[in-house]
A and B are shown apart, each in its own frame.
Chain A
Amino acid sequence: MSTLKISDLHVSVETDQGTKQILRGVDLTINEGEIHAVMGPNGSGKSTLAYAIAGHPKYTVDSGSITLDGEEVLEMSVDERAKAGLFLAMQYPVEIPGVTNSNFLRTAKTAIAGEAPAIRTWVKDVRGAMEKLRMDSSFAERNVNEGFSGGEKKRNEILQLELLKPRFAVLDETDSGLDVDALKIVSEGVNRAKAETGLGILLITHYTRILRYIKPDFVHVFVAGRVAEEGGPELADQLENEGYDRFLTSASA
C-alpha cells in the first residue's frame, strides 16, 4: 500500500518584506484510498502545503520531509514528482497559448508513462473522460485553459487527474468559484478516479460544501501553518456549524 508522509514540514516564501514563514511543522500521513480534507481559514497555509508537495520554486522548504513510500519527494524535481505519482489540481490553472489541450495531455501522458500511449485507445480515453465531465469535444483542440471559464478550467484539471492516474492527488480549492452543477460534475470526476485507481486524496478547501459530494475519511484543521485539530468527518460538520472562530481565538491566545 502506498503512503504519502509529511513530517515536521517547515516552509517559507520570499516576499518584498523579506522571508515569511508559512508552514510551521506539518505532520500528515495519507494512505492509498484515503480522502483527507484539509480545512482552515484564509492564510493558514493550505495552498502553501499544496505547492510545497508539488515543488513550486517560489516556496522554500526549510526543514522536514515529504516521502512517498519512503522516497524523499523533496529531492525530486517538479516533473519527477509527477512521474512518481503525485498530482496537483490547481486553484488557478495556467493558460498556455498555442499549445492545444490534446497535445498537452498526450505529452504529459507520454512523460508520466515513459512511452507514448497507443493512439486509438488514448483518443477514446480522452473523449470518454471529456464526455463524463460534460466537456465539449472542442476543448481538445483549444489551447490549454485559454479562454476557459473558471468552471471549465477546474473540469480540465479533473480531466487530467482522470487521464494521468496519479497515486496521490492534491486538490487545491477545486471547489472555489464553482456553481452547484459544476461542483457535482467535478466531484463525480474525483470519486470516479478514486473508484478506478484507489488513489489517495488531499482535499484542500475553505468551505464544507464540497464535502457533501466527496466524503472525507479524515479532517485536519489548519491554523497558522500547522494542524490544530484532527478528526473524522464529524469534525467537518462541527466546522460547518461553528466556523473557524474557535481556532482563531486559541491561535492568537
Chain B
Amino acid sequence: MSDETIPLTGPTVDLTAPDGGTAVEVTGTGSRAALISDATSSHNGGAPVQTRNARFTSTEVSAFPEVTGREASWKLTPVDALRDLIDGALDGGRYDFTLDAGAGDGAGIDVSWVPRTDQRVGLAGIPEERASANAWSTFSEALAITVSGEERAEVRVQRDAFGPAVRGAHTIIEAKPFSDSVVVLDNSRDASLVENVEIIVGDQARLTVVTVQDFDDDARYLATHFGRVGRDATFKHVVVSLGGKVVRVNPAVTLAERGADGELLGVYFSDAGQHLEQQVFMFHQAPDTKGRVNYKGALQGAGARTVWIGDVLIGPDASGTDSYEQNRNLVLTDGTRADSIPNLEIETGDIQGAGHASATGRFDDEQLFYLQSRGIPEEVARRLVVRGFLADIVQKIGFAPLEERLHAAIEAELAGDAETPSIEVTA
C-alpha cells in the first residue's frame, strides 16, 4: 500500500448531459477499494488492492477461483449467461477469416498463425480474470498481424466464421517501430468466443486498432485487449459494439515509454435485451504521456444494458502526464440501464492534468423541438440527435471507409426502432 496514492475517487459525475438532459442513472463507486476489495480478498490474503495495476494476474485458468459474480471484473456482467466461456472447455483451434487490404494494398502487413511459443505472447499483458485466462490456457495458435515498413498500411480482418462452437482465441497485433497503420478487426455473425488481443506498439509507430462487434443477436463475446505503447508512439484504439447478446471488450493500455500517446475511443448502441460492456484501463507508466478516453453510447428498448468502467492510473514515475477520460450515454427509451463508473488514481503530484467525467441523460426535448420547429419530423429529428451524439466518436476514427459504414450501421440501429413505442417528449 503506497502512502502516495491519491485516490481521486467519487467520480465527478456531471449530472447534466451534454445535450442538457437530466441524468437518469449514474452509478459511481464511492471508492475504488470498496469496489474491488470483495473481489480480491479471496486470492490475495484479504488485503485490499489499492492500485489498479496491482490486481492478481495469471495465464492459468486454475489460478483463479470460481467466478461468483461479485468480483470487480464481473459484478456488472451477466455471468450466468457466460459460464461455458468462463469455465468450460474452449475450442482453441484456427478459424477462417478474410483479409481486405486498404491503402498500401497489403504491403507491410503480414497476417499469419503463429505458435504459442511466439516470443511476443505475453508481452503486452497477462489475464486478470478467469475467462481471459481460460482462453489463454486454451489457444493452440495465435493470429499475428505484424506491420512493418514506414508507408501507411491498412488491413481489415473480416472475422465472420467463428460459428456456434465455444471458442478461445489469441491475437497479436504488432506495429514495428516507425510503422503507420490501421488494423480493423471486423467481427460479425455468430460467435461464442473468449479472446485475448495483445497489441504491441513500437517506438514512434502510429497504430489505429478498431474492433467492430456487429454480431448476430445470440452471440456472446468476451475480449481483453492488452496494449503496450512504446516511446513517442501514437496508439488509437476504437471499440465499436453494436450487435450481440453479451459483448464485453476490455481494453487495458499501458503507456509504457516516455512520450507515448494513447487515445481510447468507444461507441456502442444497445438494443432490447443486449448487454454491451467495456472496462477500460489506461495506465500512465512513463513520464510525459498523454491519454484520452472517450466513450459514447446509446440505449434503446426494454432491457438494453450498457456498462462502462473507466480506470485511469497515473503511476509514480509518470510525471508530466496529461490525462482525461469521459463517458456519455444517451437513453432513448424507458427500461434501459447504463452503468458508468469513472475512476482516477494518481501516484505522483507532478502532472500536467487529469480529469474525468460521466453523464447519462435522456433526449433533450429542446433539441427535438428546435429541429421539429424547422419542419423536421419527430423521427428524423431523433435520428439526427442520436447520430450527432455518436458521430463525435465515429469522426475521430480517421479511416473513411469504416466511418461511412458505421454511420450506416447506426442508422440501421435507429431504424430498428420502428416496433418500439417512442418515449414521451413532453417536459
Q: Number of residues in A with C-beta < 8 Å to the partner? A: 31
Chain A residues within an 8 Å CB radius of B19: 97
Interface presence of B392 (CB below 8 A): yes
Binds B, one of A2-10, A36-44, A77-85, A241-249: A77-85
User: How many angstroms from the CA of A160 to the CA of B391 in the assembled complex?
Assistant: 23
Indicate which residue in A94, A103, A112 contacts B367 across the interface (CB closer than 8 Å): A94
Query: Within the complex, what minimum Cβ distance (angstroms) separates B250 from chain A?
Result: 27
Query: Within the complex, what minimum Cβ distance (angstroms) separates A144 from chain B?
Result: 8
Indicate which residue in A58, A98, A164 contacts B388 across the interface (CB closer than 8 Å): A98
Binds A, one of B76-84, B232-240, B312-320, B375-383: B375-383
Chain B residues within an 8 Å CB radius of A78: 369, 372-373, 378
- Across the interface, do B389 and A93 meet the contact criterion of CB distance under 8 Å? no
Q: Which A92-122 residues have a C-beta within 8 angstroms of B?
A: 93-99, 103-104, 107-108, 111-112
Chain B residues within an 8 Å CB radius of A58: 365, 426-427
Interface presence of A208 (CB below 8 A): no
Chain A residues within an 8 Å CB radius of B392: 97-98
- Across the interface, do A96 and B376 meet the contact criterion of CB distance under 8 Å? no
- Across the interface, do B375 and A96 meet the contact criterion of CB distance under 8 Å? no
Chain A residues within an 8 Å CB radius of B369: 54, 56-57, 78, 94
CB contact under 8 A between A82 and B374, given known A97-B19, A107-B380: yes
Interface presence of A66 (CB below 8 A): no
Query: Within the complex, what minimum Cβ distance (angstroms) separates A26 from chain B?
Result: 20
Indicate which residue in B371, B372, B374, B389 contacts A77 across the interface (CB closer than 8 Å): B372
Write the A157-178 contact mask toward B (1 if CB under 8 angstroms, else 0).
0001000100000000000000
CB contact under 8 A between A108 and B426, given known A98-B388, A98-B390, A99-B388: no
- Across the interface, do B375 and A112 meet the contact criterion of CB distance under 8 Å? yes
Q: How large is the interface on B (under 10, 10 to 19, 20 to 34, 35 or more residues)?
A: 20 to 34
Query: Within the complex, what minimum Cβ distance (angstroms) separates B374 from chain A?
Result: 4
- Across the interface, do B427 and A96 meet the contact criterion of CB distance under 8 Å? no
Chain B residues within an 8 Å CB radius of A99: 384-385, 387-388, 391
**A13 — nearest CB in chain B belongs to which residue?**
B427
Interface presence of A23 (CB below 8 A): no
CB contact under 8 A between A96 and B370, given known A57-B365, A57-B427, A107-B384: yes
User: How many angstroms from the CA of A125 to the CA of B316 in the assembled complex?
Assistant: 58
**A-binding residues in B (CB < 8 A):** 18-19, 364-367, 369-378, 380-381, 384-385, 387-392, 425-427
With A57-B425, A97-B19, A111-B375 already in contact, 14 other A-B pairs whose C-beta atoms are closer than 8 Å: A79-B381, A81-B373, A82-B375, A90-B373, A95-B367, A96-B370, A96-B371, A96-B385, A98-B392, A99-B387, A99-B391, A107-B376, A112-B375, A164-B374
A-B pairs, 7 with minimum CB distance: A98-B388, A82-B375, A108-B374, A78-B372, A112-B375, A99-B388, A94-B370
- Could you write out 24 A-B pairs with CB less than 8 Å apart? A55-B373, A56-B369, A58-B426, A58-B427, A77-B372, A79-B372, A79-B378, A82-B372, A87-B373, A88-B373, A96-B367, A96-B384, A96-B385, A97-B392, A98-B387, A98-B389, A98-B391, A98-B392, A99-B384, A99-B388, A103-B384, A111-B374, A111-B380, A112-B374
